[in-house]
Each structure stands twice: as C-alpha cells, then as structure tokens.
Structure 1
Amino acid sequence: MTVQGLDRLQRKLKRFPMAVEQEIRAAMEASANEIVALMKTLVPVDSGELRESIGWTFGDRPRYSQAIVTAKSPNGNLVLTIYAGNTRVRYAHLVEFGSSPHINGGQFAGTQHPGTAAAPFFFPSFRALRRRAKSRITRAVNKAAKKVAAGG
C-alpha cells in the first residue's frame, strides 16, 4: 500500500510548528500591547512613574517588577510576561491591593499609617481582555494551519 503525496504532507507538517510559532508570537504581542494600554489608562497617576513602569516582555520579568501575569504558548516555547514596577517603583502591589492601617518602621518609626484604599488597575485589565487574547491566539493557530495547508 502506498500513500500518494506523503512526502508533500511530511514537508508541510515539518513547517507547521515554525509557522504556528510566528503567528502565536504576533497574536501574543498584540494582546500584550492591548492589555498594557488598558492598564496604563486605569492606573492612578500621581507622578506618572508607576504608569511608565507598566510593560511586557518575552521571557522572564525585569528585576524588581511586581504584579506579574505570565502567558505561555501551547508548546511552551514562548513566554510573555506583563509587569508593573522597576527599581524606583516598588509599590505597584500597594496601589493594586491597598494597605491596612499599621505602625510605621524605618525613618518614621512609631508613627501611625492610616492605610490606603485599593485602586486596582492590573488584574481588572488582564481579566477584561484575557478572553480576547485567547481567541486571538486560537485564530492565529488556525491561520497558520491554513497557510501551511495551502503551501505557504
């Protein structure tokens, strides 16, 4: 028994992972840009440093960043990280979740801190756009499959 076109099918299947990875990468970038843009509009602005510290990267988060969301491609080769904070901005979690009243230590030891109300910006943005990002990635996989099947 022989299968006609087996070699052509094998070549297409060999190209499939690379094509899918390229499409998924583009979909993940578009989704990350969209999520970060929404975060930057929702974050409370005092000096603007927190807003400017919000970003995304492929791979691990930058040092000193906080409030992290990590997304992996289905094959695990692509890891995208959305973060807030940097070496100067280490209070993203306090803005996101707030703080309770407490006695200060350090330079102002013994004084009473009244606490701060939560001003969520990070996780509401992620939750609002998570489904759209997942759909975008699914469409990217389908697009890559159709492109490879058509010989592209």
Structure 2
Amino acid sequence: MADDGGLAKFQRRLQAMRLAASGSVAPALLQGANEIAAFQRAAAQSSRKTGALIDNIKVTGPGQATPSHSQPGGQMVVPENMAVVTAGNSGVRYAHLVEYGTCPRMQGQGTQADVHPGTAAQPFFWPGFRLGRSKALKHIKRAIDKGREGGEMNIDLEVQKAIRARLTTWAVGVPAAQILDTSQPPAKLPAIILGDSQAVDEETSLRRAHTRVYHTLHVCVKSHRLKAPRPSRAPSAPQSMPPA
C-alpha cells in the first residue's frame, strides 16, 4: 500500500475530535434548550386558561421524536448535536393560534350565526426563544472549548504534525532532520521551519464544526546571518602644512 504521508492517521484524529466534541456538547444543548423553554413558559402565563399549552412546551434531545402535531414542524426525529423546543401535541393543537392570533370569522349557523371578532396575538414562543438564545449559545461554546481542552483537541497542532509528515514523504529536497519546529535559525541548510499557526472558527453553524487553520512555513535555502559591522574610525584632525 502506498504511503499516504500520515493522511489516514490525521483523518482518524479529526474524527476522534468530533466525537469528543459531541460528547461534551450534548448536555449543553439540552441545558440551553431547557432554559429557552423556561422563558417560553413564563411568557405564556399571560394567556393561561387551562395550562395545557404551558405544560406541553417540551424539550426533545438528539435521536428522539418530538410530540405529534407539535409546533413548529410537527413530529420529527431530532438529528445528532441538536435539541428542539416545541409547543403542543396531538391534544393541544392551538399553539400557533395563541402565538399569532386569529382573524374575525363567521361562527354558528342560520339565525344563530354571528361574527367572531378573532383573538389578539399573545406571542410566547419566539419571544422566549430570543430571550434565551444568547445564554444557550454561551453554554454551547463553553462546552466546545472545554471538550477541546479535555479531549486534547489541539487542531492546529494536529495540522502541523500532518504538514510535517507530508513534507517528509514529498521530494522537496530537504532532509527530514532539517524540517524543524524551532524559533532558532537552522544550523544546516536547506531547511524548513514550521512557524506559527492559528485556528479560526468559521462560525458556519452552532456546532462550530468548521475550523480554518493558517500555518506559516519558512523555507531557508541561504544564510542571511548579519555580519558584524566594521569598527568606525574617528576622523583625524587636519595637519597644518609647513611653510614653503
């Protein structure tokens, strides 16, 4: 089998990082979702009649199914690394009517028919979500950072290792012993110095699953050591010419 320069090992390490992050994030997702649900229940108190709607604001974790006829979205299986807050179920199907209100409509038949004036919107779901969203995101980001530390998830270091492994297999004209991670000038040339790296969160999703790593490589082929300057001489005083 051809040598892949450590690519397969690097990919296995990245997968292990993802699994470690998933384990640390799941509790934070549920914690944040429950805090959002608490805000929503508090906001729904002003429209309380039977309390059935408030009692059926539920949090569903990954791999579980949300209640039937719940809002928003109805029944669904929650994907990995996600928690869902819903309102209602098959017996409580009016969450959207409370949230958005209803228009005037005809009710009754014949001589008993009249116009129902409709009901005013009493929003609770999205206001509660907006109140709890910021705090929930902080829980998730803190859990990811903790998972990176506890799971040795130093992705920029892993990228550096992968770069060095690949350089040693490529015909770059530099011996493996001269591919260095150092801040000092190399003793022998040519050499490649693995410089600084920076991992930047792409912020493309709440999972923070996309990280871009910037890495600096210094290729040294010629010495640029500074030579000591020659000592300067003080100008001599002008000598007077003897009279002719």
Q: Same fold (TM over 0.5)?
A: yes
Structure whose CA Rg is larger: 2
Name the counterpart of 2:131: 128
Provide, for residues 24-72 of structure 1, a one-character-per-residue CA deviation record: whole Å limited to 9, x for no partner: 111110001101111111112111111111111024422111135xxxx
Structure 1 stretches of at least 4 aligned residues deviating more than 6 Å after TM superposition? none
Q: Which segments of 5 or more consecutive residues in structure 2 lack a partner in the other structure?
A: 1-8, 74-78, 154-244
Are residues 10 and 118 of structure 1, via their aligned partners in 2, closer, same or farther at CA, if it must alter by over 3 Å?
Answer: closer
Provide, for residues 62-95 of structure 1, a one-character-per-residue CA deviation record: whole Å limited to 9, x for no partner: 2111135xxxxxxx62232211011221111111
TM-score of the two chains, using structure 1 as the length reference? 0.77
Among 118, 121, 133, the residue aligned to 2:121: 118
Q: Residue 99 of structure 1 contacts residue 118 of structure 1 at CA under 8 Å; is this kept in 2?
A: yes
Are residues 126 and 85 of structure 1, via their aligned partners in 2, closer, same or farther at CA, if it must alter by over 3 Å?
Answer: same
| Aligned partner of residue 83 in structure 2, secondary structure | strand
**What amino acid sits opposite 2:87 in the alignment?**
A
Name the counterpart of 2:69: 64
Tell me, in whole angstroms, the C-alpha distance in 1 between the residues paired with 2:11 and 2:104.
64
* Superposition CA RMSD, Å: 2.9
Tell me, in whole angstroms, the C-alpha distance in 2 between the residues paired with 1:103 and 1:137.
48
> Would you say how many aligned residue pairs link Structure 1 and Structure 2?
138
Provide, for residues 81-132 of structure 1, a one-character-per-residue CA deviation record: whole Å limited to 9, x for no partner: 21101122111111111111111379xx843211111111100010111122
Q: Which has the higher contact order (CA 8 A, sep 6+)?
A: 1
TM-score of the two chains, using structure 2 as the length reference? 0.50
Equivalences for residues 6-25 of structure 1 within 5 A: 13-25=14-26
- Which of the two has greater helix per residue? 1
Identity within the alignment, %:
37
